[in-house]
């Protein structure tokens, strides 16, 4: 098992790109939100879309591509995909995405993975569908990013934004992020996005999807998996914090959980915005 390096603790140090990828993978294993998002796409969103194929799709903050592969499979049931462009600055995630895509044998003639941060890259084309899936935490200028994405839509294109609500991880971050990390730059919820879209005078719908996190490993002090979950929740090497601070965070989480079959769950709903360019 990989040994975690040690750092002197003032504030908890930031996660490296590889550490973030590992923590994100640990988070996905305990979250039901991915199933809720796919169910919503399959049953509520895609049946009401009227695109003319082939479709050009842009994924902003594509991560390791697991969600993107699932999205491609759902879309390919009804439409042809002409191109799929993914933008993500994390090289470890991009490598995993590329491997997953080749292993999937999906009939997508063009996949381009752009290893840069959005919107610092020039895409130079228009898209039928753009999605920003759980990525706006890591983009410093969220208003500019949303505007740039909207400008990259075809006239009849649609943009989806999946993002955490104020309930769940955001509660933990509001309580502890600045204290343990020294800043709260990644703290961002669906309420903030709602305000941005209102200010841009674009047409959008918003709804929440059920989601919960199995935090049993964290609450039972599983040193390996629990540490990565704590790091993901607080966007830093929180496992290196003094024990009394970690215990305070864990207790804060525990009183917000419910128990079922000797497991502990934290409510973590997902907000989804369906956005078009028309005012």
Domain region containing 150: 17-276
Please state whether the peptide bond connecting residue 54 to the residue before it is cis, i.e. omega within 30 degrees of 0: yes
Residue 266 in domain: yes
- Six-digit token pair at 271? 């907000």
Q: Report if residue 42 sits inside a domain.
A: yes
Reported as a single tens digit per residue, the pLDDT across 144-200 is 999 999 999 998 899 999 999 999 999 999 999 999 999 998 899 999 999 999 999
Residue 110 has pLDDT above 90, yes or no: yes
Sheet holding 270-276, edge to edge: 111-114, 81-87, 55-60, 127-133, 153-164, 270-276, 203-209
Do the beta carbons of residue 60 and residue 87 sit within 8 Å? yes
Tell me whether residue 2 is in a domain.
no
The answer to whether the beta carbons of residues 233 and 246 sit under 8 Å apart is no
Specify if 7 maps to a domain: no
Q: In this structure, is residue 245 part of a structural domain? A: yes
Q: Domain total for the chain?
A: 1
Which pTM was predicted? 0.92
Which residues are 164's β-sheet partners?
A: 270
> Is the per-residue pLDDT at 121 higher than 60?
yes
Instruction: Let me know if residue 12 belongs to a domain.
Output: no
pLDDT at 11: 86
Tokens standing for residue 226: 């629990």
What's the rounded mean pLDDT across residues 198-218?
95
The predicted pLDDT at position 7 comes to 44
Q: Is the pLDDT of residue 8 over 50?
A: no
CATH label of the domain that carries residue 272: 3.40.50.150
Q: Give yes or no for a contact between 71 and 132, defined as CB atoms under 8 angstroms apart.
A: no
- Whole-Å CA distances, 184 to 14, 137, 260: 12, 10, 32
For the segment 259-272, the average pLDDT, to the nearest whole number, is 96
Query: pLDDT-derived band of residue 10, with 50, 70 and 90 as boundaries?
Result: low
Strand boundaries in 173-269, DSSP class E: 203-209, 212-214, 257-260, 263-267
**pLDDT, position 123:** 79
Is 167 part of a structural domain of the chain? yes
Residue 11 lies in a domain: no
**pLDDT, average across residues 21-26:** 92
Phi first, then psi, for residue 218 (nearest 5°) are -70, -45
């Amino acid at each position: 098992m990989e040994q975690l390096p040690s750092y002197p603790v003032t504030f908890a140090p930031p996660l490296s790109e590889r550490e973030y990828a590992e923590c994100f993978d640990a988070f996905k294993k305990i979250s039901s939100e991915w199933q809720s998002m796919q169910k919503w796409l399959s049953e509520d969103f895609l049946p009401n879309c009227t695109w003319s194929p082939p479709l050009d799709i842009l994924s902003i903050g594509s991560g390791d591509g697991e969600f993107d592969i699932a999205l491609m499979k759902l879309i390919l049931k009804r439409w042809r995909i002409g191109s799929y462009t993914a933008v993500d600055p994390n090289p470890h995630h991009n490598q995993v995405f590329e491997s997953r895509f080749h292993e999937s044998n999906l009939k997508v003639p063009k996949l381009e993975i752009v290893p840069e941060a959005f919107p610092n890259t020039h895409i130079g084309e228009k898209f039928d569908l753009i999605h920003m899936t759980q990525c706006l935490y890591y983009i410093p200028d969220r208003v500019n990013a949303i505007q740039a994405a909207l400008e990259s839509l075809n006239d009849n294109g649609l943009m989806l934004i999946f993002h955490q609500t104020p309930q769940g991880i955001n509660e933990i971050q509001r309580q502890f992020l600045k204290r343990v990390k020294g800043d709260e730059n990644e703290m961002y919820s669906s309420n903030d996005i709602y305000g941005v879209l209102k200010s841009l005078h674009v047409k959008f719908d918003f709804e929440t999807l059920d989601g919960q996190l199995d935090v049993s490993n964290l609450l039972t002090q599983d040193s390996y998996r629990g540490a990565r979950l704590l790091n993901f929740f607080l966007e830093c090497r929180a496992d290196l914090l003094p024990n009394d601070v970690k215990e305070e965070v864990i207790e804060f989480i525990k009183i917000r959980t419910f128990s079922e079959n000797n497991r502990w769950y934290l409510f973590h709903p997902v907000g989804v915005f369906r956005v078009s360019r028309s005012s």
